Amino acid sequence: MVITGASSGIGAALAELLARQGESLLLVARRAEALEAVVAKCQGKVQALTADLTNRAEVRRTVSAAVERFGQVDVWVNNVGQGITRPPSQLSDEDVAAMMRVNVMTALYGCQEILPHFIARRRGHIINLSSMLGRIPHAVHRSAYNGAKHFLNALTANFRTEVQASHPDIQFSLISPGVVRTEFGHNALHGGPDSWQLPDSQSAEEVAAVIAEVIETRRPDVYTRAGARDRVVSYFSALGQDP
């Protein structure tokens, strides 16, 4: 399994959980020191690769490294992401480009570059980490992040439809967490509120457990909190729309 964005937060929690289950893992992120710290907490067949996944060539190198080290890849987790703190009226060109580059292009590159390997094996599983803000864009200060996650949702669904027409055993799953107690807020472009202080949050370990369950069940579209689907329905109903 390959986990991107594995140096902290959800990626790190997922790595520790899957390592305890005995999975062979390649953990990928830009921050080498933080990544090695995660590997040190894991047991078993866990290796690190430092790479900038906003660069397609680096993603291609990651695919090659994973296949070379393990012989095959069964699951690829697109977990790279970054938030933003800026309302839509104040967004710059670079704000939007940055949100697309980190939250969409990394996943697009991951899907496209691992896909030939999965097609050759006629089976595989790609998991894209989205957000409840990709369903309900109610956090105005996250503006371009909301839009990027909506884009990721559509991209995931379109990949699934296209690929499964000829390769039904290649699955594309979408995971939509809400507020997660990580450094997401601190790391947001232009700063932002501390995710640890926001209400109705869950731990990275709770989200990791949901992702691990999706790896087992291969479900296509999953929320990480009970009642999340009802919140989406209520949001669109209040607008006089069907969800």
Give, in words, the CATH class of 2-238: alpha beta
Q: Hey, where are the domains in the chain?
A: 2-238
pLDDT for the residue numbered 110? 98
- Express each pLDDT in 32-49 by its tens digit: 999 999 999 998 899 999
Q: Tell me which residues are annotated as active site.
A: 145
pLDDT at 192 over 90: no
Average pLDDT of the chain, as a whole number:
95
Average pLDDT over residues 56-84: 98
Q: What is the pLDDT of residues 224-238, one digit of tens each?
A: 998 999 999 998 888
pLDDT over 60 at 243, yes or no:
no
The DSSP line for the chain is -EEESTTSHHHHHHHHHHHHTT--EEEEES-HHHHHHHHHH--SSEEEEE--TTSHHHHHHHHHHHHHHHS--SEEEE-----B---GGG--HHHHHHHHIIIIIHHHHHHHHHHHHHHHHT-EEEEEE--GGGT----GGGHHHHHHHHHHHHHHHHHHHHHHTT-TTEEEEEEE--SBSSSHHHHSBT----GGGSSS-B-HHHHHHHHHHHHHH--SEEESSTTHHHHHHHHHHHTT---
Q: Is residue 108 pLDDT above 70, yes or no?
A: yes
At 15 the pLDDT is 98
pLDDT of residue 195: 79
Residue 200: band (very low, low, confident or very high) from pLDDT cuts 50, 70, 90: confident
207 pLDDT higher than 60:
yes
